[in-house]
Amino acid sequence: MQNLLDLDADGLAAWFAGEGEKPFRARQVLRWIHRAGVADFAAMTDIAKSLRDKLKTRAVVYPPPVIADQGSADGTRKFLIDVGNGNAVETVFIPEDDRGTLCVSTQAGCALECAFCATGQQGFNRNLTVAEIIGQLWQANQALGVRHGDERAISNVVLMGMGEPLANFDNVVAALRLMLDDNAYGLSRRRVTVSTSGLVPAIDRLRDECPVALAVSLHAPNDLLRNQLVPINQKYPLSELMAACQRYLDKAPRDFVTFEYVMLAGINDSDAHARELLALVKRVPCKFNLIPFNPFPGSPFRRSSGERLRRFADTLIEAGIVTTTRKTRGGDIDAACGQLAGQVRDRRRRIAGRTILFTEASYG
């Protein structure tokens, strides 16, 4: 049985063609599944009954099940999504006055092992399928409904949950195409963001195949520090990453890259670090999103003080760079940035007792 959630518009058209059906039938079904949120073929009333009966025997619309739905005092909601074999991923909805943002996971766990991230400490099991990625948006739409009239609660999507999106490139791009398709979710490229830790070749592929807004998890102004905080930097150092960001802007829907920067007390938050950042990004049109560190069990890091964060931001702002400080949302349900852990059966052989080499005096 074919799960139709696994197919973008082209894939669905090809599947219908293989079933001897005309292309417009694929568009009809696409609208029913994604725009209307209908999983029951019998309810697709403008489709011939003979085709509906045929679909019941050949296909399903099966989103990954929601096994927990937690609400935060600030309105944030965290969904725990079952992706099978003991694995579950987390999806977070963040409501604001002018938008509703869904943070979507792309892997069960993460193999990149960023030092300050709970997901990275959970290990890695596998990439999510297209159905499991787009199914998070499908399920959240079912749970959240609409704000008023026909407006959906979810206006923005960020692939910034569990996992490295660009390490699951083909499935992520297929899911992105569904998010952007007017017959599916109809989101603007400017309102869909992919966040990456810096997989340079995949950034170039995304630019060519499906350019959406780009966010880069930067977190350090030099290779020495970033090699430890974000280990993928050892393969793709900052000079290569900055060049890839410049290339991406040739086709990006926004004229800047967003750099995400988790503020770690005594590690990456000094005035000297801020000045080093300015030198690093001087050729890349960008904005900075400073993120107060969100603690998780076993973490050796501390959150930068409010005063230190303010001074760091002021240094960037005075140099003319748009800089925001992310408001911590959903911390009471472990839904804040860096806290998503889910349930992951790690299939790798991991090194026990990793030593954290940072000291408060190490990097200025």
Q: Is 337 a catalytic residue?
A: yes
Which of the following is catalytic: 19, 21, 90, 151?
Answer: 90
Which of the following is catalytic: 96, 103, 337, 360?
Answer: 337
Q: Is 114 a catalytic residue?
A: no
SS (H, E, C) the chain: CEEHHHCCHHHHHHHHHHCCCCHHHHHHHHHHHHHCCCCCHHHCCCCCHHHHHHHHHHEECCCCCEEEEEECCCCCEEEEEEEECCEEEEEEEEECCCCEEEECCCEEECCCCCCCCHHHHHCEEEECCHHHHHHHHHHHHHHHCEEECCEECCCEEEECCCCCHHHHHHHHHHHHHHHHCCCCCCCCHHHEEEEECCCHHHHHHHHHHCCCEEEEECCCCCHHHHHHHCHHHHCCCHHHHHHHHHHHCCCCCCCCEEEEEEEECCCCCCHHHHHHHHHHCCCCCEEEEEEECCCCCCCCCCECCHHHHHHHHHHHHHCCCEEEECCCCCHHHCCCCCCCCCECCCCCCCCCCCCCCCCCCCCC
Q: Which sequence positions are flagged as catalytic?
A: 90, 337
